[in-house]
Amino acid sequence: MAVSVADNISKSANLFQEKRSIFARRCMTKPTAGALLAQLVDDYLDEEQYDTAVQLIAETYSCTLRPPASILRRLMCLSLCTEECTPPQIHDPSLHMPQRTNKVYARPTSTSVGIARELLLDLAPLSVDQVHWMPCSLTNGDGTKQWQEQKQHIETTTFYASTPLAFWADNATLYGFESIWDLLLREPTHAADRESPFPLRVHEFWMSPFDDALHNNEVDEHEGDGSARYMTQGAWRTLNVLLAVWKDTGTTAFLGTDAKYLTKMLQAAFSFEHSPISSQDSLSLLEERTSVTVQILGLLSQPLCATHASTIRQSAAIQLQTLCFSSLSLLCNMAQHLPIYKDICFTYLYMLYVDARAPAQFLHIDSKQVDVKKLTAILNIPCPFLERCKCSTSPSITMFRMTHRCLWLKWWLIQALNQVHLIKQTSIFFDAQIFLQCLLKASSFALDPELQDFSRQTKDMLKPSNVNIP
């Protein structure tokens, strides 16, 4: 009997322990699985098995098992890479090119970059930790201060970071840039740029300064000394994804609370023309980037940005000056439904004609009503560039370009604002006729295709169908 009782006690104890273990396993299944999965993904990424890593992420993370912020940051770093893989370069030692001093890291494949971008779009809205993966959270803080506060942590994690991807995901994106726009434009804080163990101004995380120099030589010859900042192909496509995520999650932190971030936002948005574009499919890429710019302008129309409305219009008007006419024309066609863009164009003309230092002028009384008096006034102001074309015996090509640009933009505003009656009530029709005469008198007209294009476009403006007002 004693043995039986002891056996029963032992069996009961064992059963209790077994049930307790089962309960514990059930309670710990998700967190443990999540932690192990994240570590497994990290291991694949550290081994530069990018395709395997993103495939694992695609197969495992969902609404049931939501991705941690660390995984999303890694996806974003992969997404920022380009999908076009150029063949390896063979270098002649006699050219005295800079030598690699650090470990050579593998370039992510086009497949892994494309999948990472798709996963970011699908999984980012599921995150319960939006603040810690979105770089836009830094727009509300001081990036330099955060870097200094996290310096010890950064130094510790860097010691254990086996690849630049780990460093970029866990340190650079969080503390090295003051905003998402600085990250996309590769403009780190001074402290981060000076102290980072991995270069922060490179085009892609895996690059050494040597790789980045080659990239500059191959596709960025027009950038001169490389001081001008612009977004790469990967940055443009990542921004497109981020815009969709922000819209889906209702996030507005990327707009920031300071006008300087909105200015930086516009700098990024208007860099679409200056980013390297290969000749193949160049028009489709330009249209793709311009559509992103239009989305950003639409976001800047939100009431949240009303406090900085004047700064936005003035900064955007300045950015318009950097666009060639074909890009300006494309942007005008794609953004004509936005009242804010028409205000920007009006401000641009005002700054050219009246005072470049004056505060931005508002064309719209509200989002629907147009201040016709202001519009009429700007249309009647003599174009200073046209006056120089008239007075000069041999006007420069710059004078012709600026005159054509201003006349065309006036004409576009009239059409976009549905104020066609102003064509006959203002001097624009007369100015277009004078400009056409100046073009035809130019000594280089017969040999200059650009001047001939100006002539054709001006004649289109003067067609009876465009000026006959019912």
Query: What element of type H or E holds 283?
Result: helix 282-299
Identify the domain boundary among 354, 369, 384: 369
**Dihedral angle computed from the Cα positions of residues 384, 390, 395 and 401, in that order, rounded to the nearest 10 degrees:** 50
Please check whether residues 414 and 346 belong to one and the same domain. Answer: no
Domain assignment present for residue 187? The answer is: no
What are 225-256's pLDDT values in tens digits?
344 578 999 999 999 999 999 888 888 778 87
d(C-alpha 396, C-alpha 442), whole Å: 10
Residue 24 has pLDDT above 80, yes or no: no
Q: Among 333, 353, 369, where does a domain finish?
A: 369
Domain with 375, as residue range(s), is: 370-470
Alpha-helix residue ranges (DSSP H) falling in 107-175: 110-123, 143-149, 151-160, 164-167
Q: Is residue 437 part of a domain?
A: yes
The pLDDT value recorded for residue 191 is 85
DSSP 213-276: HHHHHHH-GGGTTTTS----HHHHHHHHHHHHHHHHHT--GGG-SSHHHHHHHHHHHTTTTTS-
Q: Which pLDDT band, with edges at 50, 70 and 90, does 127 fall under?
A: confident
In a 10 Å sphere around its CB, with 0-12 CB exposed, 13-18 middle and 19+ buried, how is residue 67 labelled? buried
Query: pLDDT per residue over 402-446, tens digit each?
Result: 999 999 999 999 999 999 999 889 999 999 999 999 999 999 999
CA distances to 72, 74, 177 from 78, in Å: 10, 6, 17
Check the CA dihedral 363-369-373-375 and report its sign: positive
What's the whole-number mean pLDDT along residues 27-49?
78
* Arithmetic mean of pLDDT, 312-339: 92
Residue 298 pLDDT greater than 80, yes or no: yes
How many Å apart are CA 367 and CA 329, to the nearest integer? 23
On whether both 267 and 348 belong to a single domain, the answer is yes
Q: What is the pLDDT of residue 176?
A: 87
Is the same domain home to 374 and 462? yes
Is there a domain that residue 388 lies in? yes
Residues 308 and 398 grouped into a single domain: no
Report angle CA 69, 271, 204 to the nearest 5 degrees. Answer: 45
Same domain, 401 and 310: no
Give the span between the Cα atoms of 137 and 129, in whole angstroms.
11
* Domains: count for the chain: 2
**Which tens digit of pLDDT belongs to each residue from 65-118?**
889 999 999 999 999 998 865 544 433 333 333 333 456 788 999 999 999 999
Nearest to 188 by CA among 168, 212, 210, 172: 172
* Tokens 């949240």 sit on residue: 304
> Which pLDDT value is given to residue 333?
95
Please indicate, yes or no, whether residues 265 and 300 belong to a single structural domain of this protein.
Answer: yes
Position 390 in a domain: yes
Mean pLDDT taken over the chain: 80
Q: Are residues 450 and 398 in the same domain?
A: yes
Statement to judge: residues 340 and 421 lie in one domain: no
Same domain, 406 and 441: yes
One domain, residues 365 and 378: no
Residue at which a domain ends, from 304, 337, 369: 369
Pair 296, 365 in one domain: yes
Asked, for residue 43, whether it belongs to a domain, the answer is: no
How many angstroms separate the CA atoms of 408 and 56, rounded? 53
